[in-house]
A and B are shown apart, each in its own frame.
Chain A
Amino acid sequence: GQNIDQPTEMTATEGAIVQINCTYQTSGFNGLFWYQQHAGEAPTFLSYNVLDGLEEKGRFSSFLSRSKGYSYLLLKELQMKDSASYLCAVREGNAGNMLTFGGGTRLMVKP
């Protein structure tokens, strides 16, 4: 089984930087995903980490430390459209490659 924790809500200002943390406990770790989900829509893929370190994609970066069971999603130059839920999801290699999602972090970007 897995236990995935992330903050429920965060607020940040347009143009700023925000870091959303995710901690997990799992056996047979086989990758961590970040998804963005706007209300009433399906999640959209943001990033994938399976090795330790930082993955950068434009304004979004994701970091993973497998030894600490820790990841974060970093959003730079925040825009109003970044207001959404951000879901951390972990895949276990011995669970048929299915994902288990954290509770999601609702980010509100204010002017």
Chain B
Amino acid sequence: GAVVSQHPSWVICKSGTSVKIECRSLDFQATTMFWYRQFPKQSLMLMATSNEGSKATYEQGVEKDKFLINHASLTLSTLTVTSAHPEDSSFYICSAETGGNHEKLFFGSGTQLSVL
């Protein structure tokens, strides 16, 4: 089946630094990728939708200048958390959708970000 690779699995960083998370579709072309954030014991909250070659669409309340999303190719999307602060500590998950299969989203394995 389709595989989405997300790296890193976990990262610890100092407050004020930037962290980049990569999401790759390994065996299919992902026309659309989604980025979610999940706080402990809460559900997934959609942060943004990115389409290859165009600007990401951010959900209300998500700062586009803080969470930079780049979807430069059909197999790679990146999320950069700029000037991270402790309140940004969360589990970040990407998912990818192919143009040919609307029944399923394929999720990455998630990235646990801890900002000290």
Docked-complex contact B43 and A87, CB < 8 angstroms: yes
Docked-complex contact A99 and B43, CB < 8 angstroms: no
Most chain A CB atoms below 10 A, which of B42, B45, B102: B102
A41 contact from B43, B45, B109, Cβ within 8 A: B109
What is the interface size of chain B, counting residues whose CB is below 8 A from a CB of the partner? 24
What is the interface size of chain A, counting residues whose CB is below 8 A from a CB of the partner? 21
B46 contact from A41, A99, A103, A104, Cβ within 8 A: A99
Docked-complex contact A104 and B43, CB < 8 angstroms: yes
Q: Decide if the interface of chain B is mainly helix, strand, loop or mixed.
A: strand
The docked-state distance in angstroms from the alpha carbon of A31 to that of B101 is 13
Per-residue A-contact encoding for B102-116, CB less than 8 Å = 1, 0 else: 111101111010000
Q: Known pairs A42-B107, A45-B104, A102-B43. 19 more at Cβ < 8 A? A: A33-B105, A40-B91, A40-B110, A41-B110, A42-B93, A42-B109, A87-B43, A96-B32, A96-B49, A97-B32, A98-B32, A98-B46, A99-B105, A101-B36, A101-B45, A101-B46, A103-B43, A104-B42, A104-B43
- List residues of chain B with CB under 8 Å of any chain A CB: 6, 32, 34, 36, 41-46, 49, 57, 91, 93, 97, 102-105, 107-110, 112
For the complex of A and B, 3 pairs with smallest distance between CB atoms = A42-B107, A104-B43, A101-B44
